[in-house]
Structures are given as C-alpha cells and as structure tokens.
Copies of this chain bind each other. A is one copy, B any other.
Amino acid sequence: MNTNILDELTVVADTKIVYFIMDGLSGLPMKEGGKTELQAARIPNLDNLAARSICGLIDPVMPGVTPGSGPAHLALFGYDPIEHNIGRGVLSALGVDFKLTSRDVAARLNFATADKNGTITDRRAGRISTEENERLCEVLRKGIRLSGGVEFFLQTESEHRALLVLRGDGLGGEVNDTDPQKEGLKPIAAEGRDAPSKKTAAAVSEFVSRVREILKDEKKANVILARGFAKHVPPKSMHERFKLNPLAVAVYPMYRGLARLVGMDVAEVAGDLKEQVKILKDNFARHDFFYFHVKKTDSYGEDGNFEAKVHIIEEVDAIMPEVLSLKPDVIVVTGDHSTPSKLKSHSWHPVPVLLWSEYCRQDEVTRFDEISCIRGGLGRMPSLHLMGVTLANARRLVKYGA
C-alpha cells in the first residue's frame, strides 16, 4: 500500500501528538494457557486509557515477518519498511549515533583472526573485549590515511564489532561483503558493481590491506571483515512529509539514530523513565510530535526475563498520568514489535496499540493487551498506517479528492 499520498494531504495544525513506544512490548505466555507479559502486568492507567481509546493490533512489516528495530520503527514513523530498506552499515552507524552525511558509505566490521596464509580461523577474533576493540580502533585511526580524497571513520560498537564509514565525493554503496561468512576461507576482495562503487571498493581494499599490515603482530584481531556496505540516502524528513516538528525522547543510540534519520530533533537525555518524562515536559511547548522510546521492555524480553518485563511495563504504567497531564491532542501507545520472553528474541507477532483523541471513536476494549485488542476498532493493520490515523486524529490531513 502506497501511503505517499499522505504527504500531499498534510497541513499544519495547532495540535500535539505523543507517540509512546515500548520496544518489544508484546509477548507470549511462557506456557500454553498462561498470560502474556502485558496480561500479567497490573496496568490500571493503560487499561483506563484503552477503555477511552480506539485499539487494535499492528503488523510491523507483514504477518509472519519478524522485524529488526530499523524497519519496525520506520513503519511506525510512516515510512514503508520495504521501500526504505536501510542497509546494515547505515543501521550500525545509527546504532552508535554516528551522524551520517550524503557523502558517506557505511559498513559493519568484524575484527577476525587469520592464519599465516590469510585464511580466517575465527570470524569474531575470540570475541575480544570492547576495550580491546577501542584500543585497536585507536591504533588504526592513527595509522591509516587513505588516498583519493577519501576520509574514513572507525568506531567501536562492542566486542569484535565496529563501524566503518568512508566519506568522499562520488562513492557508491554497491560493494560486496568481504566477510566469507565461514571459517576456513579467505576474505573476499571488495568489488564495486558500478563506477562510484568501484571507487568505494578501491578505498576498502586499501583500508583492509593497511589494517593487515598494522595488526600483523596481534594474536587475535589481525584482520577485518566488512559487510552490509550501504550508501546513506536520507529519506524525506517527517517535517517535509508531514509538516511536523518532531522531538525524540530516546536514550539508546540506535533509536536516537533512527529518529535523526527521519529528521527528528533528538533531546539530550540519559537516565531513567522519570528523566525522560521530565525532558518531555520541558520540551512540550517547543514541538508538536513526541517520540517517546522505552528500551527495557525489549531488553528483558531478549533476556527471557518474564518477571522483569512485567515489572518494567508496570513502571511505565505508573508514569502515564504524568504524560497524560500534558493533555496531548493525540496519544498513541504501542510497541515497535514483539519480544516474547519465551522466545528471547524479536518475533513476528502483531503488537497491541491504543490511540486516544477527542475523535478516536472509542471501541469496547477495556484492557490493554494482545488478546483484548483483537476486538479493537482499528482492527489489525500494518504499522505503516498508524501515522496516517494519528495525523487524521490530530486534524492534520485534508480531504483526498473532491
């Protein structure tokens, strides 16, 4: 479904929208017949809000597809997650809050171990520590200068993972992975599929060979493997598309980066939920769209910690009255995807959503959970449609056709 017609329909209005996203919100019972994390949680404020709202279930990409954080969030922001398939390199850059420019090509690097013949014996260099990674990156930054007017940026992610950004004029992103994906093979030579990408591939080859020279005496991390080369092609901003002036209130780098990708301002915030709510309040007059991101629901799901996930959902419930006291014209509460504790990972299950506005057309749902929301008035729809419904409720869309 092409939702780009929204762009031609948006108008500015004096209304405020809070988009409250709990990462990996929804889940599964640990045993057949049990309760999900949301069902187990005592969330009187969210239940009351659901009772006054229109509810439903949203599919981040399509039924059955488990999304990464990138596509899941882009869909919520109104960007088709298949059309805007953000490359891994760019996601890595977003994940460390690296400010990409349109002259950049990004890739995910692994430090790896090679034997004397150059054959990879460990694709993760024994999972070196993050501190070790930082030391190596520092050495490489000091030791390498690339030819051809290409700059590079090398930034530690964690353990053996790092980000490489090449910056220059006319660099293309169509470069193959140099990672052979298996031990016992040699790294693959970088090749470009077109003229701009050949220029990138030349810079990659130069970089790789300089790394090998500099790290030749390292025990573990003596080579690098690169994958997910991606040129940064920023999508139209939410301001250009929807005439919004959005602010992200998110702590984790990946989500701050995703917000920046669609042109949001990103608040300086570190700390707990209370700190995030304070930032929301302090900035409420200066913006009209607020993306509020809670990370721990996902983290506890990934850990398989059902009880901790229930507890964090209850903590979020406790701050809801303060969020609602700001009297937004539209409030949406949902997740970007499911992270069932039972699966210890993201999953494909649709995500419950509630939307309150004066015009929401309240349905019969009185509990905010995966099962109750099935009977909601929004039905089950792609996450991609949530932005249109939100803008409509904020009276920010004019009529389509006469």
Contact = CB atoms under 8 A, between A and B. Distances in A.
Contacts of A363: 371, 374
Contacts of A52: 32
A401 interface: yes
Contacts of A36: 361
A6 interface: yes
Contacts of A5: 61-62, 65, 82
Interface in A353-369: 358-359, 361-364
Interface in A80-138: 81-82, 85-86, 88, 91-92
A309 interface: no
Q: Is the interface of A mostly helix, strand, loop or mixed?
A: loop
A26 to B, nearest CB: 9
Contacts of A378: 63, 380
Contacts of A347: 359, 392
Interface in A326-381: 340, 342-343, 345-350, 358-359, 361-364, 370-371, 374-381
A33 interface: yes
Contacts of A92: 402
Interface in A1-60: 1-3, 5-6, 9, 28-29, 32-33, 36, 52, 57
Interface string A219-235: 00000000000000000
A187 interface: no
A246 interface: no
A142 interface: no
A172 interface: no
A389 interface: yes
A388 interface: yes
B374 A349 contact: no
Q: For A65, A72, A390, which residue has the most chain B Cβ atoms within 10 angstroms?
A: A65
Contacts of A348: 388-389, 392, 397
A398 interface: yes
A69 interface: yes
A64 B391 contact: yes
A133 B391 CA distance: 38
B401 A68 contact: yes
A286 interface: no
A297 interface: no
Given A364-B374, A375-B375, A66 B32 contact: no
Contacts of A377: 57, 350, 370-371, 374
Contacts of A82: 2, 5
Contact of A28 (B342, B361, B379, B399): B361
A380 B58 CA distance: 13
A71 to B, nearest CB: 4
Contacts of A71: 400-401
Given A64-B392, A388-B64, A391-B64, A402 B70 contact: yes
Interface in A155-213: none
A64 to B, nearest CB: 3
Nearest to A88: B402
A301 interface: no
A67 interface: yes
A71 B28 CA distance: 34
A261 to B, nearest CB: 13
15 contacts: A28-B359, A36-B361, A57-B379, A63-B385, A64-B390, A66-B397, A68-B400, A71-B400, A342-B359, A348-B392, A349-B361, A363-B371, A370-B377, A371-B377, A374-B376
Given A66-B398, A349-B361, A375-B375, 14 more contacts: A1-B62, A3-B62, A32-B362, A64-B388, A64-B390, A65-B388, A67-B401, A68-B402, A69-B402, A91-B401, A346-B399, A348-B389, A363-B371, A378-B380
